[in-house]
Amino acid sequence: MDPISLDKALSSFTDLWSPRIVTSVNDYDVRVAKVEGEHVWHAHDHTDEFFLVVEGELHIALREAAGERTVVLPKGSVFTVPRGTEHRPAAPTGASILMFEPTGTLTVGDRHDEVPEHVDTTTGHALH
């Protein structure tokens, strides 16, 4: 195993909302993605979802018992969406993110609204 440069990993692809798997930790994938615009409202029923903003700013809208709110994550920030929480990531001006998710987790969760064409429904692509 050699060290992996996140800058090189992110520069190896241009697709938006189409995560690449950079490594694994136990039964989890470490994924990076370039994002811009809105994802889709979705929920992961059996797992939390961890986000780290590598570049730019990420907004995560959440539907919680107390109502809807949006968490704004500038570069270098982390946030975990609790399992079962409906959420919609968005990056109005673009961002690069790193995520931890159990291997095989779909990017659109277990429950989701209609998936727009710009969102890749995947469990992650291999990094080339």
Task: Give the span between the Cα atoms of 98 and 100, in whole angstroms.
Answer: 7
Q: Give the pLDDT band (50/70/90) at residue 4.
A: very high
pLDDT tens per residue, range 46-68: 999 999 999 999 999 999 999 99
SS3 110: coil
Pick the CATH number of 6-116 from 3.40.190.10, 2.60.40.3080, 2.60.120.10, 1.10.3720.10: 2.60.120.10
Q: What is the pLDDT of residue 25?
A: 95
Q: Give the pLDDT band (50/70/90) at residue 34.
A: very high
Q: Give the pLDDT band (50/70/90) at residue 89.
A: very high
The model carries a pTM of 0.93
Q: What is the pLDDT of residue 60?
A: 98
Question: Do the beta carbons of residue 81 and residue 10 sit within 8 Å?
Answer: no
For the chain, report the end-to-end CA distance as a whole number of angstroms.
15
Q: Give the pLDDT band (50/70/90) at residue 118.
A: confident
Is the four-CA dihedral 41, 91, 125, 21 of positive or negative sign? negative
The whole-number average pLDDT for the span 31-39 is: 97
- The residue with tokens 């109502």 is 67
